[in-house]
Amino acid sequence: GAVVSQHPSRVICKSGTSVKIECRSLDFQATTMFWYRQFPKQSLMLMATSNEGSKATYEQGVEKDKFLINHASLTLSTLTVTSAHPEDSSFYICSFGLAGGNEQFFGPGTRLTVL
């Protein structure tokens, strides 16, 4: 199956700082990408969706100015959590989709802890 990497796997930061998470597809080019957030013992909640070359579409309740998404290329997407606060502590997971397909390929996730 398709391989997706995500970096870093864990990050601890102080409140008010910004954190960047990278998501890369290693063996395929993806037209669509998704960023999810998962709080403990909860489901994956979609934050935003984007196609390469276009701006991300954010889900209701997700602040686009706080969660900056850059779909830089067909193999790289980044999520920057700006001015992070303790309530942003969560498990962030990216995924890529292929044109014409349904299956999504997930990254291993990033555990963000904001002190």
Partner 1 sequence: GENVEQHPSTLSVQEGDSAVIKCTYSDSASNYFPWYKQELGKRPQLIIDIRSNVGEKKDQRIAVTLNKTAKHFSLHITETQPEDSAVYFCAASIPGGYQKVTFGTGTKLQVIP
Binding residues vs partner 1 (CB under 8 A)? 32, 34, 42-46, 49, 51, 57, 91, 93, 97, 101-104, 106-109, 111
Nearest distance in Å: CB 12, partner 1: 15
Nearest distance in Å: CB 89, partner 1: 14
How many residues are listed for the chain in this entry? 115
Between 16 and 59, CB nearer to partner 1: 59
Measured on CA atoms in the order 43, 66, 90, 49, is the torsion positive or negative?
positive
Of 31, 22, 28, 24, nearest to 1 by C-alpha is: 28
Nearest distance in Å: CB 97, partner 1: 5
Between 82 and 104, CB nearer to partner 1: 104
Between 81 and 105, CB nearer to partner 1: 105
Between 59 and 63, CB nearer to partner 1: 59
Q: Which residues does 72 contact at the CB level (< 8 Å), separation at least 6?
A: 78
Nearest distance in Å: CB 99, partner 1: 9
Q: How far is CA 17 from the centre of its chain?
A: 18
Q: How far is CA 113 from the centre of its chain?
A: 15
Torsion on CA atoms 55, 6, 102, 61, rounded to nearest 10: -50
